[in-house]
Structure 1
């Protein structure tokens, strides 16, 4: 009898080990499937997305203003551009619900640009959380759901910003090519700056009123992109399509 129970005890221990090992393996597989972009992990330090591997993402920041966003939407529609990502400040979105609704209706992606358009590197963590939370309320009121992308309002960010963003479930998106349209350098200069974009790039534009020349430059930029046979996608599509490149914040 004793030998019988000893034998079964060993079997049970072995069985328990097998079950435990299988459970742990399944758990890691599950987590691995959830975190399908391990490059976003902060394991080796906070990171921000700035480039993919193929296709091209047009991004437009809108922090304030009443005049420039609509003409840019008209140009994108006329150019049959189906995918782009608009990073909107919550304060601007509140004041322009019709334009926000149009962006959604025309199939463009919305990312968050905070609420008050403040420099996050100059704010404490709690103030950053409060600014993002206020923007969340604004977008929820406008029925804009499932925003997963965040761009630092002024383009400046640090480890503190990335830590807060990650904790709130956002991916911070920078850019690899800056059109510098916000400096109003002239239409030809904006076109030249944008011409450096190639596959995998995230291209930065602005649709705030301070960017006075973007709309004039955009039609030629779209022609140039078409001539390069580059497919325009949203930032999320760029992320899903390829291993996304990141920059570590020191």
Structure 2
């Protein structure tokens, strides 16, 4: 016995549209599940990483002050944290060589936060290059080697600063989770801000004196990370061997 299905033109068109929609839905789900490192980038140029591949990276910016950095390091040691990345301003590092030496000794990664705390989007190209170069020299004198990552001092960057950073051999690193600890909104709020962190997140924290509540929030943050079963890694460990997805900077 033979069975025939008769479709009129309208019904056939609906079926085709449903099949096309199903195909693209499946394709987008497939793409989202690929292992990738999202980045900001120029169309065909250098990139700024804001999300990683595996683990979670705690990053601490330090631009000024001498009261909060060591208590943060004490907390990390007490909590047996072996991996974190400290973005240090060169001018601060020059004034606090002992703290820089401790960061290195305890095995944490150091990244550049420029030399002076200036907004790179407000500077001429030559001034950006001079700031990076001056920071390089400061860390060279402190015998800190193999710095691979750089964060724009104020977090603001553009196509020019990406290209200049690449010229000096650095990958610009942004963040995907902002603790907003610099606002001193309260320990509970800082912890809540970081709760959204997941596998691949780069978390922005501060160890400058202006961030007065980070030290108390940090143990609770670490407890939450451990409960999620996430591994703490440095930024460089996170982004190594990853494919990249980019967002064009205009």
TM-score range with shorter-chain normalisation?
Answer: 0.7 to 0.9
* Cα distance in structure 2, aligned partners of 1:214 and 1:190: 8
For 2:25, the equivalent position in structure 1 comes to none
Equivalent pair of 2:42/2:159 in contact (CA under 8 Å):
no
* Cα distance in structure 1, aligned partners of 2:115 and 2:45: 26
Query: Per residue, is there more helix in 1 or in 2?
Result: 1
For 2:226, the equivalent position in structure 1 comes to 226
Task: Kindly indicate whether residue 228 of structure 2 is the aligned counterpart of residue 205 of structure 1.
Answer: no
* Cα distance in structure 2, aligned partners of 1:245 and 1:230: 23
Q: What do residues 201-234 of structure 1 show as CA deviations (whole Å, max 9, x unaligned)?
A: 0000000000010001000000000000000000
* Cα distance in structure 2, aligned partners of 1:245 and 1:85: 23
Task: Give the match's secondary structure for 1:59.
Answer: strand
Task: Kindly indicate whether residue 225 of structure 2 is the aligned counterpart of residue 236 of structure 1.
Answer: no
- Size of the aligned set, in residue pairs, is 213
* Cα distance in structure 1, aligned partners of 2:247 and 2:117: 23
In 2 relative to 1, CA 249–86 (structure 1 residues): closer, same or farther, beyond 3 Å? same
For 2:12, the equivalent position in structure 1 comes to none
For 2:91, the equivalent position in structure 1 comes to 91
Q: TM-score, normalization: structure 2?
A: 0.82
Structure 1 residue 239, shift from structure 2 partner: 0.7
For 1:54, the equivalent position in structure 2 comes to 54
Moved runs in structure 1, 4+ residues, more than 4 A? 39-43
Gaps of 5+ in 2: 1-36
Structure 1 residue 178, shift from structure 2 partner: 0.3
* Cα distance in structure 1, aligned partners of 2:166 and 2:70: 32
Structure 1 residue 240, shift from structure 2 partner: 1.4
Equivalent pair of 2:41/2:247 in contact (CA under 8 Å):
no
Q: What do residues 76-115 of structure 1 show as CA deviations (whole Å, max 9, x unaligned)?
A: 0111100000000000000000100000000000000000
Equivalent pair of 1:52/1:244 in contact (CA under 8 Å):
no
* Cα distance in structure 2, aligned partners of 1:244 and 1:191: 29
Equivalent pair of 1:61/1:87 in contact (CA under 8 Å):
yes
In 2 relative to 1, CA 63–82 (structure 1 residues): closer, same or farther, beyond 3 Å? same
Equivalent pair of 1:55/1:201 in contact (CA under 8 Å):
yes
For 1:147, the equivalent position in structure 2 comes to 147
* Cα distance in structure 2, aligned partners of 1:62 and 1:208: 5
Q: TM-score, normalization: structure 1?
A: 0.82
In 2 relative to 1, CA 212–153 (structure 1 residues): closer, same or farther, beyond 3 Å? same
For 2:31, the equivalent position in structure 1 comes to none
Q: Cα RMSD over matched residues?
A: 1.6
Name the stretch that deviates more: 45-54 or 167-176.
45-54
Task: Give the match's secondary structure for 1:51.
Answer: coil
Q: What do residues 97-145 of structure 1 show as CA deviations (whole Å, max 9, x unaligned)?
A: 0100000000000000000110000000000000111111100000001
Equivalent pair of 1:150/1:165 in contact (CA under 8 Å):
yes
For 2:193, the equivalent position in structure 1 comes to 193
For 2:7, the equivalent position in structure 1 comes to none
For 1:182, the equivalent position in structure 2 comes to 182
Task: Give the match's secondary structure for 1:118.
Answer: coil
Equivalent pair of 1:50/1:245 in contact (CA under 8 Å):
no
In 2 relative to 1, CA 217–245 (structure 1 residues): closer, same or farther, beyond 3 Å? farther
